[in-house]
Structure 1
Amino acid sequence: MVKIILASQSPRRRDLLASLGVDFQTIASNTEENLNTKDPVELVTELSRQKALNVAYQLDYDSIVIGADTIVYVDGNILGKPENEIDAFNKLKLLQGRSHQVYTGICIVKVPSYKIISDYAMTQVWIKSMKDQEIRNYIKTGEVMDKAGAYAIQGRGSLIVEKIEGCYYNVVGLPLNKLNEMLKQLDVDLMCI
């Protein structure tokens, strides 16, 4: 049986894949997450491709490597993970009281053929209006620092999200249905493994 490798350090991506009962291994990629583009689709698809290939090139056995990258996009700006609490405050201040998009790129590399399948998902998210103190209180929870856009929809961030349109799992960091549709192109169905 082919091995499934998740090229990610994200605990949320690990948890999502594990929740399906999938037997997989995690190998972190050593890629720089900076590209000179303002296009969210181009950014997440290229970064996910780099992550997957970085890990795939390390392997010498039959495997399927999954790379993913998630960003928040609002007003032509790409919001990644906050650098500090001030940056987190500014990101949340920008997002509150309106909608934004969450993009996740997925790249799958089949080893040893190096066949590549790449796609992305987009979800529209509405964040409620918040007073500055509410934003500071949320930042104090500690869950904002390693999340694109400085919020965790699966945690206390659920209390600031008014609604979403699209895939919830995309906002968490790995759109599972999209991933499974891509894997089916390689004759792998997460429902059956």
Structure 2
Amino acid sequence: MMNLYSPLILASKSPRRQQLLKAAGFDFEIRTKDVNEDYPADLAAIEVAPFLAQKKADAFLPELDNEILLTADTVVIVDEQVLGKPADYNEAFEMIELMSGRTHLVCSGVCIADKSQKHIISDTTEITFKTFSKDEIDYYITNYKPYDKAGAYGIQEWIGMTGVTAMSGSFYNVAGLPVHKVYDILINNFQ
């Protein structure tokens, strides 16, 4: 495991973020709390994920002692519209149908902080989907239940394997954490 001067806290319920951070060689503790994920209506879509990552961090910072905190948020953007996590089957279907045969952006925001410093980063990946039939969309939602995923899909699942025709940027960013950027900040600023 990578040695950091202080213990690392991952403030995320996402099993994908936990898996990615562990695979990158970091030992960490998970802490979670519910944070209101509202953002200003006039905020540019590309700024939403870093804004929410910082908002999540601000909820934890007063409780930190000697720890390093990592918070993150990922959104999908289509036509400047932010797609978060779908509430139900119908919303998931609408989201995937909206992205079908088109290119969309996946933006992750990350905040890494301790008592003396705060680093806010973002990463954006461009994804192009093939045109999905209604049966394919139904199959994916019914079998994978992507209700905990921004944009109603996980790139590492069936829909990513069969439907992504082009990608520009980091695969791991789409999976929920721009590991290459997180690694650089942790190693260069907290070790």
Asked if TM exceeds 0.5, the reply is: yes
Match of 1:133 in 2: 135
Large movers: runs of 4+ above 6 Å: none
Structure 2 matches for 1:12-161, cutoff 5 A? 12-37=16-41, 38-60=43-65, 62-110=66-114, 112-113=115-116, 115-158=117-160, 159-161=162-164
CA distance in 1, matches of 2:120, 2:70: 10
More helix by share: 2
Q: Which is worse superposed, 16-25 or 154-163?
A: 154-163
Length-normalised TM-score, structure 2: 0.91
Query: CA shift at 1:185, angstroms?
Result: 4.0
Length-normalised TM-score, structure 1: 0.91
The AA in structure 1 aligned to 2:167 is I
CA distance in 1, matches of 2:34, 2:92: 25
Query: CA shift at 1:6, angstroms?
Result: 0.6
Summarize deviations over 1:131-170 as a string: whole Å, max 9, x none: 1111111111133111101111011222222221100000
Contact kept? 1:103, 1:121, Cα under 8 Å: yes
The AA in structure 1 aligned to 2:184 is E
Q: Which is worse superposed, 62-71 or 177-186?
A: 177-186
Summarize deviations over 1:31-55 as a string: whole Å, max 9, x none: 1111123512321111101112212
CA distance in 2, matches of 1:12, 1:183: 19
Q: Which is worse superposed, 150-159 or 86-95?
A: 150-159
SS of residue in 2 equivalent to 1:124: strand
Give the paired residue count. Answer: 185
% identical equivalent positions? 36
SS of residue in 2 equivalent to 1:32: coil
SS of residue in 1 equivalent to 2:165: strand
SS of residue in 1 equivalent to 2:48: helix
Q: Which is worse superposed, 173-182 or 154-163?
A: 154-163
Summarize deviations over 1:56-89 as a string: whole Å, max 9, x none: 22222x1110110000001110000101000000
SS of residue in 2 equivalent to 1:146: coil
Contact kept? 2:24, 2:183, Cα under 8 Å: no
Match of 1:191 in 2: none
CA distance in 2, matches of 1:40, 1:28: 25
Structure 2 residue runs without a partner (length 5+)? none
